[in-house]
């Protein structure tokens, strides 16, 4: 096999200009594929973790702390625990919610405004926002310290830092040590807060792209269960994104009754999940349909260029293959040399595309393109590789098996 690889490499070197162009072409296809698949995946990334909720019978609700009551004296009559909310409704199966944390930070004895959110364990387990460093919060109730993930900030807070956060409940405020375990990437989507309703309602309502630069104050994300287990636990009212799942046996009328009830309990918006899911799927599929013409054009380009470049290359190499045959190779082994050339070219293109994607990802160009690495990218790469190898072997196979070495040498 070493001899075949060496022969394939030598043959590639002989036609270096054309092979470099082919390599660049395939590499461009890889890079564009990464960008397109990433663009599709980023949308599914936010839909998939809660897909079973979206597809089920239920409601998406938005709770607002300010709307629990217009009376400032009763502002603390909030619902914290989802079990408590469930007790008011027509037997929902499950509720997952975000919670508002009344808190502020103390930095160098100065009071600093922060935005505090906590999540039910199920949200933490199902979805992890993009982090620029560190890790996501855990649902480990035995953790030795309160964990938080923080957004970009001007306080110099970094992974591993212990900061002082004053957390409030209805009666008291307690200063607590909080360990920063991760830093959110700027503009990453986090569950909760209030997304603007643009066009039809989709799963995007569940998320909010948090920008420290825009908001002006750092966001801290906590585990609801970790905070709820503390002595003098802080107040964590159900707030913003809330998903309520009902059994299929609960009727639409009963659900409407629950909607009316919750509107008196701080819920400022609610919508049927089935409608939300339909809109979500339309939104996701529309994106794929928008990309489909590009994918088709790319594939056509790959096919045409693969066939023509491999045909040209094989035609030039036929005489060499005849010489290899005369000196002791089997005619079909020349196919192997041709195949190895295609494999070497695609490996080179793959390496080059990895470098390009790394440059895109880790430089300012990443502001223009979202790049994610996941199994769908790998499947796409594998698909393109197999497709290219098959297409690039069609003409050589036809040409090599339609002629004999003797015919080539005696021409």
Partner 1 sequence: MIQVKNISKIYNKGKSNAFQALDNISFSVEKGELVSIVGTSGAGKSTLLHILACIDNYDAGEYYIDNVLIKNISEKRLAEIRNMKIGLVMQDFALVDDFTAIQNVMLPLDFSKEKRSDKKEKAMAALRSVGMDKFANNLSNKLSGGQKQRTAIARAIVNDPDVILADEPTGALDSKTASEIMELFKMLHNDGKTIIIVTHDKEIAAQCERIIEISDGKIV
Query: How many other CB atoms are there within 10 angstroms of residue 222's CB atom?
Result: 25
Residue among 3, 72, 198, 368 that touches partner 1 (CB under 8 A): 3
Residue among 156, 199, 293, 328 that touches partner 1 (CB under 8 A): 328
Nearest CA-CA partner of 23 in 312, 296, 306: 306
Strand partners, 177: 164
Contact 195, 91 (CB under 8 A): no
Tell me: does residue 315 bind partner 1 (CB under 8 A): no
Per-residue contact track with partner 1, 12 to 31, x per CB under 8 A?
A: --x-----------------
Torsion angle in degrees (nearest 10) through CA of 180, 185, 187, 193: -30
Part in contact with partner 1 (CB under 8 A); list of ranges 7-15, 95-103, 173-181, 258-266: 7-15
Nearer to partner 1 by Cβ, of 286 and 332: the residue is 332
- Window 351-410: residues binding partner 1 (CB under 8 A): 404-406, 409-410
Contact 381, 33 (CB under 8 A): yes
Tell me: does residue 68 bind partner 1 (CB under 8 A): no
Name every residue whose Cβ is closer than 8 Å to that of residue 147 and which is 6 or more positions away in sequence: 137, 138, 178, 179, 181, 222, 223, 226
Nearest CA-CA partner of 131 in 7, 219, 192: 219
Nearer to partner 1 by Cβ, of 3 and 72: the residue is 3
| Nearest-angstrom CA–CA distance, 211 and 205 | 16
Task: Report the nearest approach of partner 1 to the CB of residue 22 (Å).
Answer: 18
Tell me: does residue 324 bind partner 1 (CB under 8 A): yes
Task: Report the nearest approach of partner 1 to the CB of residue 320 (Å).
Answer: 5
Per-residue contact track with partner 1, 96 to 125, x per CB under 8 A?
A: ------------------------------
Nearer to partner 1 by Cβ, of 141 and 332: the residue is 332
Task: Report the nearest approach of partner 1 to the CB of residue 410 (Å).
Answer: 7
List the structure tokens of 56: 């089920």
Tell me: does residue 339 bind partner 1 (CB under 8 A): no
| Nearest-angstrom CA–CA distance, 193 and 206 | 8
Task: Report the nearest approach of partner 1 to the CB of residue 402 (Å).
Answer: 16
List the structure tokens of 36: 């397109």
Tell me: does residue 72 bind partner 1 (CB under 8 A): no
Tell me: does residue 320 bind partner 1 (CB under 8 A): yes
List the structure tokens of 142: 């035995």
Contact 206, 190 (CB under 8 A): no
- Window 131-190: residues binding partner 1 (CB under 8 A): none
Nearest CA-CA partner of 191 in 277, 273, 129, 266: 129
List the structure tokens of 75: 């502002």
Tell me: does residue 325 bind partner 1 (CB under 8 A): yes
Residue among 300, 323, 378, 390 that touches partner 1 (CB under 8 A): 323
Which residues of the shown chain bind partner 1 in the complex (CB under 8 A)? 3-4, 6-7, 10, 14, 320, 322-333, 404-406, 409-410
């Amino acid at each position: 096999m070493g001899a075949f690889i060496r022969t394939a490499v030598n043959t590639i070197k002989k036609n270096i200009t054309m092979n470099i162009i082919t390599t660049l072409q395939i590499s461009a296809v890889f890079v564009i594929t990464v960008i397109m698949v990433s663009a599709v995946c980023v949308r599914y990334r936010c839909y998939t973790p809660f897909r079973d909720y979206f597809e089920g019978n239920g409601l998406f609700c938005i709770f607002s702390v300010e709307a629990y009551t217009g009376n400032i004296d009763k502002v603390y009559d909030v619902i914290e625990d989802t079990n408590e909310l469930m007790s008011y409704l027509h037997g929902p199966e499950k509720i997952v919610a975000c919670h508002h944390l009344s808190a502020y930070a103390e930095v160098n004895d100065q009071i600093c405004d922060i935005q505090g959110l906590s999540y039910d364990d199920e949200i933490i387990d199902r979805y992890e926002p993009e982090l620029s460093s560190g890790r996501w919060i855990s649902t480990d109730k035995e953790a030795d310290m309160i964990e938080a993930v923080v957004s970009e900030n001007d306080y110099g807070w970094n992974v591993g830092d212990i900061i002082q956060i004053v957390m409030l409940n209805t009666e008291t405020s307690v200063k607590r040590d909080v360990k920063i375990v991760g830093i959110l990437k700027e503009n990453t989507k986090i569950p909760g807060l209030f997304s603007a309703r643009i066009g039809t309602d989709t799963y995007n309502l569940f998320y909010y792209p948090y920008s420290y630069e825009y908001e002006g104050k750092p966001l801290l994300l906590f585990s609801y269960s970790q905070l709820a287990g503390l002595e003098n636990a802080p107040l964590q009212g159900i707030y913003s994104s809330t998903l309520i799942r009902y059994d299929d046996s609960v009727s639409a009328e009963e659900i409407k009754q629950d909607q009316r009830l919750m509107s008196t309990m701080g819920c400022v918006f609610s919508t049927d999940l089935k409608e939300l899911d339909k809109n979500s799927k339309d939104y996701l599929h529309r994106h794929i349909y928008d990309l489909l013409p590009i994918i088709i054009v790319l594939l056509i380009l790959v096919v045409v260029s693969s066939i023509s470049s491999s045909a040209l290359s094989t035609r030039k190499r036929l005489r060499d293959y005849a010489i290899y045959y005369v000196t002791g190779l089997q005619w079909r082994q020349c196919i192997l040399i041709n195949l190895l050339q295609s494999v070497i070219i695609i490996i080179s293109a793959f390496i080059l595309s990895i470098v390009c994607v790394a440059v895109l990802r880790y430089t300012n160009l990443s502001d223009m393109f979202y790049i994610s690495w996941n199994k769908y990218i790998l499947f796409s790469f594998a698909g393109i590789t197999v497709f290219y190898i098959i297409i690039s072997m069609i003409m050589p196979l036809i040409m090599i098996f339609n002629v004999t070495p003797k015919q080539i040498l005696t021409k």
